[in-house]
Chain A
Amino acid sequence: MNSSHTSNESSATPSSKQEFDLGGAPHFAPPRNIRQVMLDVLIALIPGILAHVWYFGPWILVQILLCILFALPIEAIMLKLRKQALYPFLSDGSAIVTAVLFALCMPQLAPWWVSFIGMLFAIAIAKHLYGGLGHNRFNPAMVAYVAVIIAYPQVMAQWLPPHPLLGGDDLLLQLDRQQPGFMQGMWSILTGQMAIDLQWDSITQATPLDTLRQGATQNLLINEIRVSPIFGDFGGLGWEWIANWYFVGGVWLLYRQVISWHVPVATLASIVLLTLPFYLMDPDAHPFPLQHVFSGGIMLGAFFIATDPVSGSSTPLGKIIFGIGFAIITLLIRRWSSYPDGVAFAVLCMNMLAPLIDRYTRPRIYGHER
């Protein structure tokens, strides 16, 4: 067995021969590494992030920055406590990806401690307490999201209405809302209080999914609900475009072969196929399938969250089942629970089932019958 060392072990050592480095096959260095894979994921998120900034203002970038600034020191402390080397774990990019994904689920003006608690749950608890990179049983960003949505329900409901970079004042007038200035928004992030001359009620607006759900409980027809100007063609105004750009980023990830097609296709196909019959039966009471697809976090979930390799399924068929289950549970939560979107809970439920799914979806090995 060859092992990596450079000493010559044979007994008949020739006199002036060059000695070569020993190593096992294959001898080419693998072209890809983890940092590159994580970087690909971050690059794929950029279009969605830019769309977010376009529609909702720059504060999402502040949230992302805060999350990263909290995530890295927490990771460093956890590595030290676990007596692991800081290099290469601190620079492998996995904490940054977790931070960004979590930040993208935050309301724009959420106070800094929400991010901090979130990163504590994501990095310290969900990742390192389970064994660090490659060992987390649950998606760290979603563990964090679930923790903060349960701990800070009010804060997590304070979403800004869309205010596109070019000419978005009409919408605000229609909704009778104000757009906070940059510093006012920063004040709220840093202190959790709204600036003196503004009220939370005049800033925030229920999300499209939330509006849909409230309207459904009031037995309004879909068309009646969608009269509100916050709805766009498919999902919510602004949100549907962000989802669209997540889709573009996701397709790019497919092209880069970072993720495989199984989870996204299974998730989105399931959403469409499950909602289509209901829509066809009663278009007034059920949203058009694509409205579901472009609302909430399902697009981000399908390409970036349910595809988390560590906590997801290992086998191709298992990934499809994971995607289907993810879609079903999301829809169930959207329809019948008091939470507007079920992506986070759905992913965690499927994370729980992943080992079981893996066990029963092993591919047929070459030459074997089954």
Chain B
Amino acid sequence: MNHIVGKHLHHFHGGLRLRHYKQMSCTDTPTHLAPPPQLIVNLQQHKGYSAKPVVNPGEYVLRGQVIARTDNHLTQQLHAPSSGTISAIEERPYISANALCIVIDCDGKDQAIPADALNNWQQSTPEQVIDHINKMGVVGLGGAVFPTAKKLTNPHDNNTPLTQEHIHTIILNGAECEPYLSCDESLMLSQPEQLINGARILAHAASAKHIVVAIEDRMNEVLKRLHQVITEHHIDNIQVIQVPTYYPEGGERQLIQVLTGQEVPAQGLPRDLGLLCFNVATAVACHNAVELGQALTERIVTVTGRCIQRPGNWWARIGSPVESLIDAAGGLSHPAERLIMGGPMMGSALPHTDIPIVKASNCILALDATEIHDAQGEMPCINCGFCVRVCPAHLLPQELHWSIRSEDIQRAQNYGLTDCIECGCCDQVCPSHIPLVEDYRLGKHKLRVMEQEKRRAEQAKKRYEARQLRLERLEQVRQKQRETSKTKNTPKDAKSRIAAALAKKKKQQQAVSATGNKEAIEDKQKT
């Protein structure tokens, strides 16, 4: 367990060297955008349950005020990104479907609730720190938006914080590997102190002894600034490690493999290796939450692409429409073919610019036709094996493709469908231009449906078996009754049976009248 993280760098299988296009947008002074006239806060901003609104249309809210909350045991909260009036709580378009959103008409004053810092966090217990971080709505800002508090607690032990026995090193993931994205790099350049402090807060919350900040080996300026902060404050348990600029180096499993040589077990988590991995923006959000008492209401978003007039990075409020960000970047310089929320390898295509930013939105990318235009169309797989060479999860992508296309999802599962991280490396190198990642997503969806059906079938089976048991028991009881009534003197011939039935009826009537009389007598006695 006491692996010295980052002492030697290892390799992960496959991967691609991609042109990174980051210089066009990277900056060490990302400016804060003023809140747009309307903010659309999506109620599903984190992995897990959807949040329920705790405000009503017409209410006036301040920046940082809680406007929605989940009702599960580990409450996630959403906060108003700016002050204004709740205009509506309705469905709004989000990527390819609609989502329930709280719409706020901003009043432009941008007033915030008083700061709620956790002073002297070094003296607080991990539990207090985790609670505070959770209260402030901090989730993983690398894209997965996993609730940070949940990562720091042990589900097998009543959600108490993880301890030293569990975690020895916190890894801060600054290896922003997807092309065009530079939000993490801009953050690290502009706020190295906040990053280091946030890392220490997280380490305190996890009771971890060591901290490793992983950055790409081309981020030399970041290295300099981080080292400056570390030496200034004489922090001895933080290391900044540079990892090769390779895609998908920043994938959690690949990064851990590179830093430690170990693999996160399938169906397992980094905590099984004594590690916790957080995005650098998450660490800064923790700093803001704990030191400045600010809830998570904004994040750095990269707006970039050849079609963007002035690519760059901006602090944008959660809920800002994509259009406001593109406008801040000077608009489109020439027609864009595709607008993507996220990066070019794993991002989602947007149908129009009226989509709001969520906590997971790290980049808005406008690609032109020359970059995405695919003249060839899909050809059959020729088993060339290029995909096998580049898969970081060491899968056989062509086998997955064949299995899913022939609807044999079970076979796809056997070949490791759920181990696929959907990085897109296989897709990029396929000479037949097969949309492999789309195949896998379809396959995973079918697998989920299959497993759901299986669970339902198992439940139905359980119910059926319980019912069978119950019927059996009933039958047994009846059987007993029949037998006991048989042993009584039941005459066999019809006449005596009739006489017995009549006698029984008479007895019943007498009993009824007796009780009736009894009640009448009792009534009389009362009155």
Residues of chain A at the chain B interface (Cβ within 8 Å): 1-3, 8-12, 14, 17-34, 36-37, 88-89, 92, 94, 132-135, 257-258, 260, 309-310, 312, 314-316, 319, 362-368
- State whether A367 and B264 are in contact (beta carbons under 8 Å apart), knowing that A24-B438, A37-B384, A314-B396 are contacts in the complex: yes
Having A134-B379, A367-B268, A368-B416, one finds 12 other A-B pairs with CB under 8 Å, namely: A2-B96, A23-B372, A24-B437, A28-B372, A28-B428, A30-B431, A32-B386, A37-B431, A88-B376, A134-B432, A309-B382, A368-B419
Question: Of B133-141, B343-351, B515-523, which binds chain A?
Answer: B343-351
Measured CB to CB, the closest approach of chain A to B50, in angstroms, equals 19
Contact: A32 with B431, CB < 8 Å? yes
Contact: B98 with A12, CB < 8 Å? yes
Contact: A20 with B350, CB < 8 Å? yes
A294 to B96, CA, bound (A): 60
Contact: B382 with A2, CB < 8 Å? no
Contact: A366 with B338, CB < 8 Å? no
Contact: A366 with B419, CB < 8 Å? yes
A52 to B206, CA, bound (A): 70
Question: Of B289-297, B387-395, B476-484, which binds chain A?
Answer: B387-395
B514 at the interface (CB under 8 A from A): no
- The bracket for how many chain B residues form the interface is 35 or more
A31 to B376, CA, bound (A): 11
- State whether A30 and B433 are in contact (beta carbons under 8 Å apart), knowing that A12-B93, A366-B419, A368-B419 are contacts in the complex: yes
Chain A interface, DSSP helix/strand/loop, else mixed: loop
Measured CB to CB, the closest approach of chain A to B394, in angstroms, equals 5
Chain A residues within an 8 Å CB radius of B372: 21, 23, 27-29
B255-297 at interface with A (beta carbon < 8 Å): 257, 263-268
A259 to B388, CA, bound (A): 12
Measured CB to CB, the closest approach of chain B to A108, in angstroms, equals 31
B449 at the interface (CB under 8 A from A): no
Measured CB to CB, the closest approach of chain A to B96, in angstroms, equals 6
Chain A residues within an 8 Å CB radius of B338: 20-23, 27
Contact: B377 with A362, CB < 8 Å? no
A30 to B384, CA, bound (A): 15
Contact: A309 with B424, CB < 8 Å? no
Contact: B383 with A309, CB < 8 Å? yes
Contact: A314 with B437, CB < 8 Å? no
A94 to B431, CA, bound (A): 13
B388-445 at interface with A (beta carbon < 8 Å): 388-389, 392-396, 398-399, 415-416, 419, 422, 424, 427-433, 435, 437-438, 441-442, 445
A94 to B382, CA, bound (A): 10
Chain A residues within an 8 Å CB radius of B348: 2, 25
B236 at the interface (CB under 8 A from A): no
Measured CB to CB, the closest approach of chain B to A17, in angstroms, equals 4
Chain A residues within an 8 Å CB radius of B257: 366
Minimal Cβ-Cβ distance residue in A for B266: A367
Cβ-neighbour of B432 out of A22, A34, A312 (below 8 A): A34
B310 at the interface (CB under 8 A from A): no
Contact: B91 with A12, CB < 8 Å? yes
Contact: B351 with A9, CB < 8 Å? yes
Contact: B380 with A132, CB < 8 Å? yes
In the complex, which of the residues A14, A258, A367 has the most CB atoms of chain B within 10 Å of its own CB atom?
A367
Give the A-B pair count, Cβ closer than 8 A. 200
B187 at the interface (CB under 8 A from A): no
Contact: B340 with A27, CB < 8 Å? yes
A20 to B351, CA, bound (A): 5
Chain A residues within an 8 Å CB radius of B367: 27
A24 to B342, CA, bound (A): 12
Contact: B354 with A366, CB < 8 Å? no
Contact: B376 with A314, CB < 8 Å? no
Measured CB to CB, the closest approach of chain B to A45, in angstroms, equals 18
Residues of chain B at the chain A interface (Cβ within 8 Å): 12-13, 91-93, 95-98, 253, 257, 263-268, 323, 336-340, 342, 344-354, 365, 367, 371-374, 376-377, 379-386, 388-389, 392-396, 398-399, 415-416, 419, 422, 424, 427-433, 435, 437-438, 441-442, 445
A134 to B445, CA, bound (A): 27
Contact: A1 with B382, CB < 8 Å? no
A27 to B346, CA, bound (A): 8
Cβ-neighbour of A362 out of B381, B415, B435, B442 (below 8 A): B415
- State whether A26 and B253 are in contact (beta carbons under 8 Å apart), knowing that A14-B352, A364-B394, A366-B263 are contacts in the complex: no
- State whether A365 and B395 are in contact (beta carbons under 8 Å apart), knowing that A20-B350, A34-B382, A309-B383 are contacts in the complex: yes
Chain B residues within an 8 Å CB radius of A310: 382-383
Contact: B431 with A36, CB < 8 Å? yes
A330 to B92, CA, bound (A): 67
A–B Cβ pairs within 8 angstroms, 6 of them: A20-B352, A24-B438, A25-B347, A27-B345, A29-B371, A367-B268
- State whether A22 and B380 are in contact (beta carbons under 8 Å apart), knowing that A14-B352, A17-B354 are contacts in the complex: no
Chain A residues within an 8 Å CB radius of B346: 25-26
- State whether A11 and B395 are in contact (beta carbons under 8 Å apart), knowing that A20-B349, A25-B345 are contacts in the complex: no
A356 to B266, CA, bound (A): 26
Cβ-neighbour of B96 out of A22, A89, A134, A135 (below 8 A): A22
Contact: B392 with A366, CB < 8 Å? yes
- State whether A314 and B388 are in contact (beta carbons under 8 Å apart), knowing that A21-B337, A23-B338 are contacts in the complex: yes
A29 to B432, CA, bound (A): 11
A303 to B61, CA, bound (A): 71
Chain A residues within an 8 Å CB radius of B266: 365-368
Chain A residues within an 8 Å CB radius of B399: 314
Measured CB to CB, the closest approach of chain B to A176, in angstroms, equals 48
Minimal Cβ-Cβ distance residue in A for B374: A29
Minimal Cβ-Cβ distance residue in B for A364: B394
A364 to B445, CA, bound (A): 24
Contact: A11 with B419, CB < 8 Å? no
Chain B residues within an 8 Å CB radius of A24: 349, 435, 437-438, 441
Minimal Cβ-Cβ distance residue in B for A10: B93
A19 to B337, CA, bound (A): 9
Chain A residues within an 8 Å CB radius of B376: 33-34, 88
Chain A residues within an 8 Å CB radius of B442: 1
Minimal Cβ-Cβ distance residue in A for B415: A362
Minimal Cβ-Cβ distance residue in B for A24: B438
Chain A residues within an 8 Å CB radius of B339: 20
Cβ-neighbour of B388 out of A8, A9, A11, A316 (below 8 A): A316
Minimal Cβ-Cβ distance residue in A for B257: A366
Measured CB to CB, the closest approach of chain A to B227, in angstroms, equals 32
Cβ-neighbour of B441 out of A1, A10, A368 (below 8 A): A1
Contact: A23 with B349, CB < 8 Å? yes
Chain B residues within an 8 Å CB radius of A362: 396, 415
Chain A residues within an 8 Å CB radius of B428: 26, 28, 30-31
Chain A residues within an 8 Å CB radius of B96: 1-2, 9, 22
Contact: B253 with A367, CB < 8 Å? yes
Chain B residues within an 8 Å CB radius of A92: 379
Minimal Cβ-Cβ distance residue in A for B379: A34
A368 to B73, CA, bound (A): 32
